[in-house]
């Protein structure tokens, strides 16, 4: 049995783990309070590239929870860090929201819709046939295709919504070029998360609602893993994969219950 009391760091997904859209999930308040009361290192690591850490802070604040901005790390930040490392001062044509655009600007990446080094795709309300056509032709001219994350869908209050992997797919199909995805399960993002926490992988837990991004990224990084059933996965989902999480729980509130029970 996984002993949560002995773990020093917790890396948690957000969509389907902490909230659905603007709806907080059961047990989340107790979980965050437990993390803070027990001085656990924690980081909310989200593949959603649309929001900045400050916007995520404000989103949880509206739901009645105080989590400082430094406790958030997004696929947008991972994408910006990757491009800055690969080609400092590069340019990009970007399909995305404020979270991705701000991260790229902060990394010194210039916006360019004529002859960019990269085409970068994230979640975007501005996604259209027009932007798709521009992106496709820029890739055909030599721009490298980058996706903020490979998720094809994400949970919302009334079902699911297409995510970055699905939005990048038409460009891949039209050009015959494969995108490089910077978010989970890319180990670069997980390694950064552990570095931010100052925590060894053996001392950390990855908590998420997806087997194909959250659990596999934690597993391959040497962390204990928890699959929660509050998002996109069900118990039947486990049968689709050859690997298993360390624990399967209904939601993050169960982490608190198990931690307290093990202390009795």
- 117: Cα within 13 Å, side-chain hemisphere: 11
Q: Tell me the helices (H) and strands (E) count for the chain, helix number first.
A: 9, 15
Long-range Cβ contact pairs of 55-63 (< 8 A, separation 24 or more):
55/98, 55/99, 56/14, 59/19, 59/22, 60/18, 62/22, 63/19, 63/22, 63/24
CA distances from 43 to 53, 68, 74 (A): 11, 10, 10
> Can you say whether the dihedral through the CA atoms of 19, 2, 6, 214 is positive or negative?
negative
Structure tokens at 26: 């059961």
Q: How many CB atoms lie within 10 A of CB 41?
A: 18
Query: Which residues 6+ apart lie within 8 Å of 261 measured at CB?
Result: none
Cα 48 from Cα 119, distance rounded (Å):
18
Give 3-state DSSP helix, strand, coil % of the chain, rounded to 5.
Answer: 40, 20, 35
Q: Which residues pair with 206 in a beta bridge?
A: 11, 225
Catalytic site positions: 13, 15
């Amino acid at each position: 049995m996984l002993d949560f009391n002995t773990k020093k760091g917790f890396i948690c997904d957000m969509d389907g783990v902490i909230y659905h859209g603007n709806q907080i999930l059961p047990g989340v308040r107790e979980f965050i309070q437990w993390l803070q009361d027990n001085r656990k290192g924690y980081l909310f690591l989200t593949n959603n590239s649309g929001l900045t850490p400050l916007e995520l802070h404000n989103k949880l604040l509206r739901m009645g929870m105080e989590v400082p901005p430094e406790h958030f790390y997004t696929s947008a930040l991972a994408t910006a860090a990757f491009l800055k490392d690969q080609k400092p001062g590069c340019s990009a044509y970007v399909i995305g929201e404020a979270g991705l655009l701000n991260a790229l600007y902060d990394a010194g990446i210039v916006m360019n819709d004529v002859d960019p080094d990269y085409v970068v795709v994230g979640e975007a309300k501005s996604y259209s046939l027009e932007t798709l056509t521009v992106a496709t032709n820029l890739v055909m001219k030599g721009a490298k295709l980058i996706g903020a994350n490979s998720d094809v869908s994400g949970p919302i209050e009334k079902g699911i919504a297409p995510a970055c992997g699905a939005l990048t797919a038409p460009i891949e199909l039209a050009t015959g070029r494969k995108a490089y995805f910077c978010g989970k399960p890319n180990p670069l993002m997980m390694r950064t998360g552990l570095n931010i926490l100052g925590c060894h992988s053996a001392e950390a837990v990855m908590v998420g609602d997806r087997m194909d991004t959250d659990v596999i990224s934690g597993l391959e990084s040497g962390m204990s893993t928890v699959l929660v059933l509050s998002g996109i996965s069900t118990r039947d989902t486990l049968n689709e994969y050859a690997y298993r999480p360390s624990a399967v729980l209904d939601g993050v509130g169960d982490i608190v219950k198990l931690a307290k029970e093990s202390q009795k």
